[in-house]
Amino acid sequence: MAGLDDLYREIILDHYRSPRNRGELDHPTARTEGFNPLCGDELVVYLVVRDGVLEDIKLTGHGCSISQASSSMMSAAVKGKPLSDVRQIIDRFKSMMTVHEDGTDPEAAVTPDLRTDGELAALAGVVKFPVRIKCATLAWNTLTQAIDDAARA
């Protein structure tokens, strides 16, 4: 499994060093801020939602490598998708980030569906470090709020 761990580490570092969908949108449907007070991660999610589709997403902010890589991977996984699909991806990701009290391997939550969402499986190992889960889920929680904000707009 060392080879797979190395690959996952490289994917996370690639998204941290070269984040996707960085910047602001001029006329977003929603602009939502997220903050992780435990380690100072900050994120702003800008969305354009039209006819039930997340047409565009941009991100600004700063933080640790996990929060920034997760936000980059998230934006790539959801851009251009119907909101119903986006919510399913969010649910699958958050399920993967759930600590398994029964002692089962957290990476067992990497379902075939999650593998089809691209590189998100690279973040499965974060669950082994519970203090970092909030770093990985910040973008996803902020995206959920942004979708809700867009629905009210």
Q: Which helix (H) or strand (E) holds 36?
A: strand 30-36
Distance CA 137, CA 56 (A): 20
**Residue spans per domain, the chain:** 2-152
Distance CA 51, CA 10 (A): 36
Instruction: Give the CATH fold of the 2-152 domain.
Output: Sufe protein. Chain: A (3.90.1010)
Q: pTM value? A: 0.88
φ/ψ of residue 81, rounded to 5: -100, 150
Q: What is the pLDDT of residues 72-130, one digit of tens each?
A: 999 999 999 999 999 999 998 998 888 655 555 555 555 545 444 568 888 988 988 88
